[in-house]
Amino acid sequence: MRKIMARFSTYDLVLIAVLAALGVATKPIIVPLAHLITGPLFIPGGALAGGLYMFWLVVGLGLTGKYGTATLIGLVQALMVIGTGVIGSHGAMSLLSYTLPGVAVDLGLFLIGGHKAECLFCCFIGGILANLTGSLCVNVIFFRLPLIPLMLSLFTAAFSGALGGILAWQVLQALRKYKIGARIDTAN
């Protein structure tokens, strides 16, 4: 563990903590609004709302340019919700439901060619991977939806994740104008 953490500077770790806090803080605001739409469809609100609070995982990877960032953000979020008991806590299962979306972002972008949230395509894919993984985890752990609502939930999660990935790209572009985050050559 020490070897893995040595790859991250103090600046990176502060970014990870701040982004994890932003993710936890935005969830209680976004999810109730999403329930207005998803409630009548009998699908979990997080499937729709997730793209708007999981995009912080993609932003984190884009800011540090280091694999493992999204996983650490998810892990810190899990520890925060377990420790504070804020809305969205799944008890000990939060370790899975919050960390696995980060693993999906890190691993998925690595597997599609070593991307680190440096282009619109990889942010788009990262958002989809994060929200699909989160929605699937919550379904397996808690909801166990029948096939049709599950498919509707996963389709909604992919759509919302894609929008979250696009939002992450826009946030990264804005931050890079102010030279915040990893220096990435966007000429490619």
pLDDT-flagged residues of the chain (< 50): 185-188
pLDDT tens profile 156-175: 999 999 999 999 999 999 99
How far, CA to CA in Å, does 84 sit from each of 23, 24, 55, 146?
Answer: 14, 11, 22, 32
Task: For residues 105 and 93, give the distance between their C-alpha atoms in angstroms, rounded to a whole number.
Answer: 19
Looking at residue 185, its pLDDT comes to 47
Amino acid at 18: V
Looking at residue 183, its pLDDT comes to 57
Could you tell me which CATH class the domain 2-177 is placed in? Answer: mainly alpha
Tokens representing 185?
A: 């050559």
pLDDT tens profile 17-45: 999 999 999 888 888 888 888 888 777 88
At 92, give phi and psi (nearest 5°).
-60, -25
Looking at residue 125, its pLDDT comes to 97
Looking at residue 145, its pLDDT comes to 87
Looking at residue 188, its pLDDT comes to 37
